[in-house]
Amino acid sequence: MSDAARDHRQHESPPQHESPAQQVPPGLPAEFGVYFALLEVSALLQYGVERQLKVDGGLSFTQFQILATLGEPAETPRTMTDLADRLVHSRSGLTYQVGRLEHAGLLAREPSVDDERSVEVSLTRAGTELLSRVIPGHVEIVRELLVDSLDAHDRDELMRILGRVGRHMRSRPPRSAAR
């Protein structure tokens, strides 16, 4: 068990109050309960994951997302625009985080050979090694906080629903188009 997962298990207890999903403010439609429930679950999951990533690798969640995306097999080199669209980040926010990771020696940026306006991003050996160190604890905390609370049917159903919602949201212009 990673230090972050062990620390989370020892020091965190579930809130003993109503879920925000049960507290839809007056004036909002009752179906907004799903919105508040999603926000609550997302915040709790991100909090646990952030703690694990910080303890095990000194990374923020966004930095982990960048490294993990670059660690996935790809047919073509990843560009900054690809990362911004994939990770749903603004170009400026992504540029800042990539700069920090590059300064730490975890990734490298180079001008694209195919498009002089594009910048390609890749993991360094140190980035690959750090990713390998934090992945086991990451898997453990995600299982503990999310996956283990669902049976196979619930996981499939949640994936189906979230997939549909994600496709709907991604049908809008990409965030990288926003300056």
Task: Tell me the pLDDT tens digit for each residue of 82-133.
Answer: 898 888 777 888 999 999 999 999 999 999 888 888 999 999 999 999 999 9
Residue 10 located in a structural domain: no
**Residues of the chain by 3-state class (helix, strand, coil), percent to 5:** 65, 5, 25
Residue 149 located in a structural domain: yes
Q: pLDDT value at position 8?
A: 53
pTM given for the model: 0.77
**Which residue in 81, 51, 53 sits closest to 68, CA to CA?**
53
Query: How many structural domains are present in the chain?
Result: 1
Flag whether pLDDT at 67 surpasses 80.
yes
Report the alpha-carbon distance of residue 25 to residue 9 in Å, rounded. Answer: 32
Flag whether pLDDT at 7 surpasses 90.
no
Residue 78 located in a structural domain: yes
Residue 7 located in a structural domain: no
The CATH number given to whatever domain includes residue 139 is: 1.10.10.10
Q: pLDDT value at position 20?
A: 56
Q: Give the chain's mean pLDDT.
A: 87
Residue with tokens 């212009």: 173
Residue 54 located in a structural domain: yes
Task: Tell me the pLDDT tens digit for each residue of 35-49.
Answer: 999 999 999 999 999
Averaged over 138-160, what is the pLDDT? 97
C-alpha distances out from residue 130 to 6, 45, 68, 93, 104, Å: 20, 21, 10, 22, 11
Tokens of 109: 């940026």
Parent domain of 106: 28-173
Q: Which stretches does DSSP call E strand in 78-134?
A: 78-79, 107-111, 119-123
Residue 159 located in a structural domain: yes
Residue 4 located in a structural domain: no
Residue 55 located in a structural domain: yes
Query: Which value, to the nearest 10 degrees, does the dihedral of the CA atoms of residues 94, 97, 103, 109 take?
Result: -20
